[in-house]
Amino acid sequence: AAGVIQSPRHLIKEKRETATLKCYPIPRHDTVYWYQQGPGQDPQFLISFYEKMQSDKGSIPDRFSAQQFSDYHSELNMSSLELGDSALYFCASSPGGNGEQYFGPGTRLTVT
Amino acid sequence: AQSVAQPEDQVNVAEGNPLTVKCTYSVSGNPYLFWYVQYPNRGLQFLLKYITGDNLVKGSYGFEAEFNKSQTSFHLKKPSALVSDSALYFCAVRDSGRRALTFGSGTRLQVQP
C-alpha cells in the first residue's frame, strides 16, 4: 500500500539558511499535518491543511511557512534557520476527520 | 486544551510475559485516542485507535488497548511480549474533527530475551 512520502530524508543546512521540506500524502487523503520531533522529545504539531486550506495551527515559528498544493502535496518552508531547528520533521496524512494519521518516514534536518 | 501523560519513561518485561504501557489523557468532549510505535530512526507507525464503541480495542501486531472513561486512561497491552516489540511507544489524543494529535512523552519498552 502507498505510504506518505517525504523528501529529502536528510538535510544539512547552516545557520541563517533556508530549507524546504516536501510531503506527498497517501492518495485520497484530504488532510496533511506537519510535526517537529526534537531529540528525545515527543512530536509537536506545527500546522495542518485540509483541502489546500490551513485548518489548524500549532507551535510553528513565524520563520516557517507551509502550503498545500493542488495535487495535495505540501511543503514546509523554513527560513533563517537556527541550531534549535535541528529535528526530525514528520508529515502525516489522514482520510478524514475521524481517521488515524499515517506518518511519513520523516526528514532529519541538521543545522550547523 | 488536551494533554496526555505517560507516567513511565521505560518499561522492562521478559519475553513471553504480558506487557502494559500506561496512558492517561485530558480532553474536552469525547476523546479520540491513538497508540503509535516508533523504531529507531523511523517514522511513527499506527497501532490502534479508540473513537467509540467497545472499550477494548484490538490493533496491529497483537496489541490491544483498554479505554476507561472514569479513569481517563487508555493503557496499551499485549498478552505475550516479543523481543521485536522493543521500541518507543507514544499515546496520543485529539478531540473531534480534523485536529492535530497531542502526544505523550513516550515510553520506551524493552523486552528482554
Domains and CATH numbers, chain B: 3-112 (2.60.40.10)
Chain B positions in Cβ-Cβ contact with residue A56 (cut-off 8 Å): 98-100
Which member of A92, A98, A106 has the closest CB to residue B32? A98
State the DSSP string of A2-30.
Answer: ---EEE-SEEEE-TT--EEEEEEPPTT--
From A14's Cα to the closest Cα of chain B, the distance in A is: 22
Cα–Cα distances in Å, from B103 out to A43, A84, A112, B53, B113?
7, 20, 28, 22, 29
Q: Is-contact B65 B46, C-beta < 8 A? A: no
CB contact under 8 A, A43 and B43: no
Q: What is the pLDDT along chain B (113 residues), one digit of tens a residue?
A: 789 999 999 999 999 999 999 999 998 888 899 999 999 878 899 999 998 888 999 999 999 999 999 999 999 999 999 999 999 999 999 876 657 899 999 999 999 99
Q: What pLDDT score does B41 carry?
A: 76
Q: Is-contact B11 B21, C-beta < 8 A? A: yes
Q: What is the pLDDT along chain A (112 residues), one digit of tens a residue?
A: 689 999 999 999 999 999 999 999 999 898 999 999 999 899 999 999 988 899 889 989 999 999 999 999 999 999 999 999 999 999 999 987 667 899 999 999 999 9
Q: Is-contact A101 A93, C-beta < 8 A? A: yes
Helices and strands in chain A: count of H runs, count of E runs: 0, 11
Any CB–CB contact under 8 A between A94 and chain B? yes
What is the per-residue burial (b if ≥16 Cβ within 10 Å, else e) of B54-71?
eeebebeeebbbbbeeee
Which of A46, A100, A102 is best to mutate for the B interface (most B CBs within 10 A)? A100
Query: Cα(A45)–Cα(B31) distance, rounded to whole angstroms?
Result: 18
Any CB–CB contact under 8 A between A48 and chain B? yes
CB contact under 8 A, B98 and A96: yes
**What does the block give as the cell for B91?**
499515546
Q: What pLDDT score does A97 carry?
A: 60
Query: Cα(A41)–Cα(B112) distance, rounded to whole angstroms?
Result: 24
Chain A positions in Cβ-Cβ contact with residue B99 (cut-off 8 Å): 56
Q: What pLDDT score does A99 carry?
A: 74
Which member of A35, A58, A100 has the closest CB to residue B34? A100
The CATH number assigned to the domain holding A89 equals 2.60.40.10
Domain tally, chain A: 1
Which of A103, A107, A109, A110 is best to mutate for the B interface (most B CBs within 10 A)? A103
Which member of A4, A58, A96 has the closest CB to residue B100? A58
Q: Is-contact A89 A107, C-beta < 8 A? A: yes
Could you tell me which chain A residue has the CA closest to the CA of B100?
A: A45
Any CB–CB contact under 8 A between B88 and chain A? no
**Domain assignment of residue A82, given as a range:** 5-111
Q: What pLDDT score does A44 carry?
A: 95
Residues near B81 by Cβ (< 8 Å), separated by ≥ 6? B13, B14, B15, B16, B17, B18, B19, B109, B111
